[in-house]
Amino acid sequence: MYLWKDLVEESADFQLDPETLHTNSEESLASEVHSIDFVYSQGQSYLLLGMRHGYMISCKLVRHFNDKDSLDFTRIEAQANKFGQSQVEFITATHDDFEECQGTYERSRAFVKSEYLWQISLQDGELRIDEVLFDDIRTVG
Amino acid sequence: MTYNETKFLHWSSSTSRLNSPIWSGDFEIDDITTTYSNHFMLSEPTLATSCVANHILQVTPSGIYLNNVFRRQMGSHQRVVQASVMGNDVIWVVYSDPGEWILWCVSFLLDDSVEGDVEGTISYSARQTQLLSEPTAIRLVHFR
């Protein structure tokens, strides 16, 4: 997994921990990243990784500007959620879907499907996961 | 799009989405593909698309198309395997035989300083870097 701050100059990388995925060698494909999304709000940032076999890995990131006015990332914790058996796919609009909040731009929501449709939202620095139903939203974790 | 072709579908609802009203969920879908048949690569799946400076950008396995403004087609031993677009920026991964992956990044810039009825011109800057292995996913994100 590579985080590209700049295409030529620098990159950051980290290895996904199999223990985070609760998988064994027979499920090696579960550790393959299928889709990527990103949410941030009020200074909190999460990288969201959709995996092959129903897992979503959320990595809480610390970002700060370095001397080159580019961004540095530090992964401080990662958590796995399992939605189902199928691959986890983020549903992403292709236009800028930032929300303006108190003079700054934020992106606090993402949608993901893995057999069912889910909404990932960043509220008060914590990720909230809701299953999206047509007539209601049910909190699942 | 489907696995082997591109379609243009127009989704419309009589309920305005302004001010976040409760939406009935009723909408109509019209197939308007023939309207664009002369401008886009409809015989291939669309990997990524966006509206760039009032033009529709389309990335397919065979190339990157921005109406008649920008066109970059792959060679016979190349194909685009991944793409991501955000605003006026697009990245894509090109696979080349016998096993090479190149990440391209292009930023489009609209020069709208031209006065009168003449449309502004679109310029672009491109960069590329070779990847060490095949990527399973890519994603372009913006920070503001």
The residue of chain B with its CA nearest to that of A94 is B50
Q: Based on the structure, what is the number of domains in chain B?
A: 1
Question: pLDDT digits over A36-80, tens only?
Answer: 998 888 778 888 989 888 889 888 876 655 555 555 666 667 788
Nearest residue, CB atoms, B139 vs list A37, A95, A98: A37
Q: Is B144 part of any domain?
A: no
Q: Is B106 part of any domain?
A: yes
Range(s) of the domain holding residue A122? 2-139
Q: Is B33 part of any domain?
A: yes
A/B interface, count of CB pairs below 8 Å: 40
Q: In terms of pLDDT, which residue wins out, A53 or B53?
A: A53
Within 10 Å of residue B69's Cβ, how many Cβ atoms? 17
Asked if B141 lies within 8 A of A34 by C-beta distance, the reply is no
Could you tell me if A129 lies within 8 Å of chain B, comparing CB atoms? no
Nearest residue, CB atoms, A38 vs list B87, B103, B139: B139
Range(s) of the domain holding residue B35? 9-131
Q: Is B137 part of any domain?
A: no
Q: Is B104 part of any domain?
A: yes
Q: Is B3 part of any domain?
A: no
pTM beyond 0.90, yes or no: no
pLDDT at position A80 is 84
Comparing A97-106, B5-14, B35-44, the range with the smallest average pLDDT is: A97-106
Asked if A96 lies within 8 A of B143 by C-beta distance, the reply is no
Are the C-beta atoms of residues A2 and A8 closer than 8 Å to each other? no
- Consecutive H or E run containing A18: helix A18-21
Nearest residue, CB atoms, A94 vs list B85, B103, B143: B85
Asked if A35 lies within 8 A of B143 by C-beta distance, the reply is no
